[in-house]
Amino acid sequence: MKKHKSHVSGTKDFIDINNVHRSFLEKAFALTDELKRHPRIPLLKDKSLAMIFAKTSTRTRVSFEVGMTQLGGHGIFIDARTSQIGKGETIADTARTLSRYCDGIMARIYDHKDMKELARHASVPVINGLTDLLHPCQAMADLYTIDEKLERLKGINLAYIGDAKNNVCHSLMQLSTKLGVNMKIGCPKEYAPKKGIYNLSMKNAKVTGSTIRLFTDPAKAAEDADVVYTDTWVSMGQEKESERRLKTLKPYQVNRKLMKHAKPFCLFMHCLPAYRGNEVTADVIDSPSSIVFDQAENRLHTQKAILSLLMNKQRALMALEHR
């Protein structure tokens, strides 16, 4: 795997990749390399992370909690539904209070506006563990995994198939265009990415020379792809739309027939949880070309790098200097 090098600029929060300087992203990847080789460097010794969950979680909760432990700190789980947050306490008051107790806040919540409100009133770093609009930590793990497998990002062709009007696709667009990855998106018109995210990503693409192209034909999107990516068709909070979504997205299933349009050694990615027989067939997700569990593992490593750079930048940079 190649070494990552860069300087890092000042960054308080990690909420929206479009607002994060490229130098921070590259430094996070460099630190991920180091923390993956040496997982128990105590960069956050005795520090605490408040972890707010309004949505259920497996990978996000475990990866952040284990990550804080490996870094020498402590993750504190806060269920929004059984805490004062769920009983009407304002986001501003929650942010101010937790800032007095903890060294950082990670939140997995529904409304992206609430995430921005949390960061606005917190005096400690805030990390977006997922909102209905963006999922930046997932995108970081995804592109790190691609770089790990293909040993480059610049010029890689990433095809995203299915529901593209979702947080994972949005953050992938943002990060891909900042780091020179080409994206082709295959989706129905009604599930195209939000225009605001798309337009900002196009501006990034002009700087890095990458491209984003939208197709309603999934085969055209998958053509010449180095990586094919999909996500669940029915996310949390969309259960009432389930029947319509499954019917509309059925032609966008990632199966062996679709994968034949990609490059011969194309990789398959999925952020999980996956529903075999819906967005992807078992013979694709369980094949040797699937790297979905490498993605899942790398959530741990990339998030540890983000935590370290936000909550103790000086020690994090020292760890890189001495590697």
Contact 155, 147 (CB under 8 A): no
Determine the Cα–Cα distance for residues 286 and 183; give it in Å rounded to an integer: 24
Other CB atoms closer than 10 Å to residue 314's CB: what's the count? 8
Determine the Cα–Cα distance for residues 116 and 132; give it in Å rounded to an integer: 13
Determine the Cα–Cα distance for residues 171 and 155; give it in Å rounded to an integer: 18
DSSP conformation letters of 221-250? HHTT-SEEEE--SS-TT-GGGHHHHHHHHG
Eight-class DSSP state of 290: B
Determine the Cα–Cα distance for residues 156 and 210; give it in Å rounded to an integer: 9
Provide the CA 128 distance to its chain's centre, in angstroms. Answer: 9
Which of these, 221, 233, 212, lies nearest to 277 by C-alpha position?
233
Task: Show which residues are catalytic.
Answer: 108, 135, 138, 231, 271, 299
